Structure 1
Amino acid sequence: MARPRPAEFEKTKILAENRRAKFDYYLEDFFEAGIALTGTEVKSLRFGEGSIAESYAEVKNGEVWLINANVPEFSHGNRFNHEPKRPRKLLLHERQIERMFKALTREGMTLVPLSIYFNARGRAKVEIALGKGKKLHDKRDTQKDRDWKRDQQRLMRERG
């Protein structure tokens, strides 16, 4: 029986994506979390600035934190501007946090942020996933499969 596809979240404007995550990790459980942001952070994100390429999430004291995500200072923020790489609290249900904590401690998984986006209501959200790191040979297999599928499509196009 085929594995069910993860539920797609309603993303109206994607601000930052971690495209390398699918290559580096086997992604299993997907979660949508709100972010606790200050006013200048929201304004900076609305201008399309921000990066989560080197970020990760962790569970501390029953709370989930987004670490090392870069939201640059707002250009008109004066003295009330925020720190660009400060830890940001993610807003999740307790059951989701417990599930993440158990998977992180018992199964040796990591929390990988996949994207930051605004939903239809205009709220900033983060899509995070529980992932298990791939070994080098797994990454080579992924690359080989991707190349073969691309060649397959090219051959089908040429032969009509």
Structure 2
Amino acid sequence: MVKQKQHSRPLAQNRKASHDYYILDTVEAGLSLTGTEIKSVRAARINLKDGFAQIRNNEAWLMNVHISPYDQGNQFNHDPLRNRKLLLHKKEIKRLEQETSKKGVTLVPLKVYLKHGFAKVLLGIAQGKRDYDKRESIKRRDQEREIRRTLKNY
């Protein structure tokens, strides 16, 4: 019997990342969460907007990602903005460290989703866009939308 892939919708997406950065490459990493954090993530109460990842002491950390406290969590609730460890292989961490050592390159969380019951984050190796690059991409997107609109009418 053939196993089917388990696809689930993203619990959180960082839509602003593609506007602010060029995404050079992506890496999937596991998230190390506490009991009440995973319950909040499953309820899609997570915000990636200002988040980023760093490599410190040969470990990957997810910073500034807000996971709301679990409603029924009482005293066992967590700090919403605490740093969370990313689960990656040593080779992946070394590669990410080399990539981010370049000027203007950073790690940005793009999506959080569940895969086989485990919380995963899709990290993007990203390079920042300048203001004129952002305007150019907005202009290109509007032109493509206009072309699709005119082709639809014919």
Relative to the length of structure 2, the TM-score reads 0.93
Relative to the length of structure 1, the TM-score reads 0.90
- From 92, 95, 98, the equivalent of 1:96 is 92
Tell me, yes or no, if the aligned pair for 1:109 and 1:132 is still in contact at 8 Å. Answer: yes
Q: CA deviation at 1:13?
A: 3.1
Corresponding residue of 2:31? 35
- From 31, 40, 43, the equivalent of 1:44 is 40
Q: CA deviation at 1:21?
A: 0.6
Q: CA deviation at 1:44?
A: 0.9
**How is 1:6-155 mapped onto 2 (pairs within 5 angstroms)?**
11-119=7-115, 121-155=116-150
Structure 1: which 5+ runs fail to align? 1-8
Tell me, yes or no, if the aligned pair for 1:41 and 1:73 is still in contact at 8 Å. Answer: yes
Corresponding residue of 1:6? none
**One-letter amino acid matched to 1:66:** L
Tell me, yes or no, if the aligned pair for 1:11 and 1:117 is still in contact at 8 Å. Answer: no
Aligned identity (percent) is 41
Three-state SS of the structure 1 residue aligned to 2:62 is: strand
Aligned residues: 150
RMSD: 1.3
Distance 1:110 1:48 in 2: 25
- Name the CA shift for 1:134/1:63 in 2 (closer, same or farther; >3 Å): same
Tell me, yes or no, if the aligned pair for 2:29 and 2:123 is still in contact at 8 Å. Answer: yes
Query: Once the two structures are superposed, what CA deviation does each residue of 1:58-90 show, in whole Å capped at 9, x if it has no partner?
Result: 110001110010101011111111111100000
Query: Once the two structures are superposed, what CA deviation does each residue of 1:12-64 show, in whole Å capped at 9, x if it has no partner?
Result: 13111000111111111110000000000011111121111111111100011
Distance 2:119 2:113 in 1: 6
- Name the CA shift for 1:89/1:11 in 2 (closer, same or farther; >3 Å): farther
Query: Once the two structures are superposed, what CA deviation does each residue of 1:84-113 show, in whole Å capped at 9, x if it has no partner?
Result: 110000001111111111111134300010
Distance 1:75 1:127 in 2: 26
Distance 1:71 1:11 in 2: 22
Distance 2:128 2:104 in 1: 9
**One-letter amino acid matched to 1:96:** E
Tell me, yes or no, if the aligned pair for 2:106 and 2:126 is still in contact at 8 Å. Answer: yes
